[in-house]
Amino acid sequence: MTTYIITGLRTPTGRYGGALAHIRPDDLVAEVIRGVINETHIDPHTVDEVLIGNANGAGEDNRNVARMAWLAAGLPDTVPAMTVNRLCASGMSAITTGTALIESGQAHLVVAGGVESMSRAPWVMEKPKKAFSRPGEIADTSIGWRFTNPKFLARDKMTYEMPETAEEVARVCNISREESDLFAYDSHMKAAAATDAGHFTREIHSIAIDSDETIRRTTTIEKLETLRPVVAGGSVVTAGNASSLNDGASVVLLASEEAVQRYGLTPRARIVGSATAGLAPEIMGLGPVPATRNLLERIGGSIDQFDAVELNEAFAAQSLACIKEMGVDPQVVNQWGGAIALGHPLGSSGCRIVITLLNRLEKNQGTRGLATMCIGIGQGQSLAIETV
């Protein structure tokens, strides 16, 4: 069975505390779901499943944000929904889970996507171990480890924070600060140029703003060079060559061949295949390398078959390392900028890069594309699509 992408929409990416910070995550993705339903003119009663990726789940996105978003959008109670969590790849895993449902004959129409409001991520506190004792650990849930299992603390480097993992990848793969700053600068310049050219118009569903808040148009190499490393003893990773904390949501409509014919839908692409991989948590940034290797073993061919590649830019250092280790032509990677400029709202990013990939392929008359990303705690996921 074939799974088709009918359309995909996303919010503009909001800065931390920015234009989208006043919107609850369930309401944020509800708006995009409604946008996809309206664009495709499908009867929402015909949707078999709603799958929304979300990495946090500690605040307003608790209790199955997928289900809450569908209901918040005013859509039928009879449609089931499930939240998917694979941290940074949650949105991509929502798509691959939907694909599996369709290809196994369990569904014909699936709404899949992701959401994250890092601005609204709450502080959480351990319950006291006994009455009248002092509170335990208090943690910000925006990103990173919290309430860490003591077993993990005994393993060297396992509980590195994300910037520390990027420093480790830079060390292992010999990536310099100079390369990283240039990569970050290019990401912002490409994103600004793509925005000005209207390349994102088809994918953006305007909510509060109509373009990404995250692009730094006035940045320069000289400004980036002045920033201090964020890791004690580090030399490569800075706030300027890393993705930021962001808010955003993205959604695609997936359909089987039967649904395409029954409802008169026009597919834009088909899912060729996907794969995941695990690796040491301290080098999680290299996750796209084994994930893409696994994907190519599954679908056949080489990395050169892809006309466009969307690599989620968690950090410039890990992005450069992945490009190097994968042997991919840098010219086909993130031609419209990446997460350093466009933002990384965790649960949404995996779906967002698939949507941007599809639009890049159509704009440049390409055929086959790759979306790939690293995942905290040591995983990677890759997805291949083909225009139709």
Q: Which two tokens stand for residue 64?
A: 């199955």
Which pLDDT belongs to residue 141? 93
Residues involved in catalysis: 88, 344, 374
The Cα-based distances of 154 to 157, 158, 215, 379 in angstroms read 9, 8, 40, 20
Domain that holds residue 299: 3-121+244-387
Confidence check: pLDDT of 132 > 80: no
In a domain, 353, yes or no: yes
The predicted model gives 125-142 an average pLDDT of 85
pLDDT in tens, 67-109: 999 999 999 999 999 999 999 999 999 999 999 999 999 999 9
Contact 370, 294 (CB under 8 A): no
| 3-class DSSP assignment, residue 289 | helix
Q: What total of structural domains would you count in the chain?
A: 1
Structure tokens, 298: 């599954």
Of the chain, the percentage scoring pLDDT greater than 70 comes to 100
What are 292's two structure tokens? 């893409």
How large is the average pLDDT for residues 210-219?
98
Residue 162 is assigned to a structural domain of this protein: no
Amino acid of residue 66: A
Domain assignment present for residue 114? The answer is yes
Question: What's residue 62's pLDDT?
Answer: 95
Closest to 10 (Cα-Cα) out of 355, 383, 255, 384: 355
Structure tokens that stand for 63 in this block: 């209790």
Type of residue found at 20: L
**pLDDT confidence band for 133 (50 / 70 / 90):** confident
How far does the chain reach from its first CA to its final CA, in angstroms?
Answer: 15
For the stretch 153-193, pLDDT in tens is 989 999 999 999 999 999 999 999 999 999 999 999 999 99
Distance of CA 172 to the CA centre of its chain: 25
Does the reported pTM lie above 0.85?
Answer: yes
Banded model confidence at residue 136, pLDDT cuts 50, 70, 90: confident
Question: Please, which residues have CB within 8 angstroms of residue 44's CB and are 6 or more apart in sequence?
Answer: 37, 75, 76, 79
* 333-387 pLDDT tens trace: 999 999 999 999 999 999 999 999 999 999 999 999 999 999 999 999 999 999 9
User: What is the Cα–Cα distance from 7 to 326, expressed in whole angstroms?
Assistant: 29
**Domain presence at residue 231:** no
What are residue 21's phi and psi, to 5 degrees? Answer: -65, -20
Look at residue 146 and tell me if it is in a domain. Answer: no
Q: How far apart are CA 360 and CA 353, in angstroms?
A: 10
Asked whether residue 348 is assigned to any structural domain, the reply reads: yes
Whether 374 is in a domain gets the answer yes
CATH number for the domain including 338? 3.40.47.10
Q: Quick one: pLDDT at residue 215?
A: 99
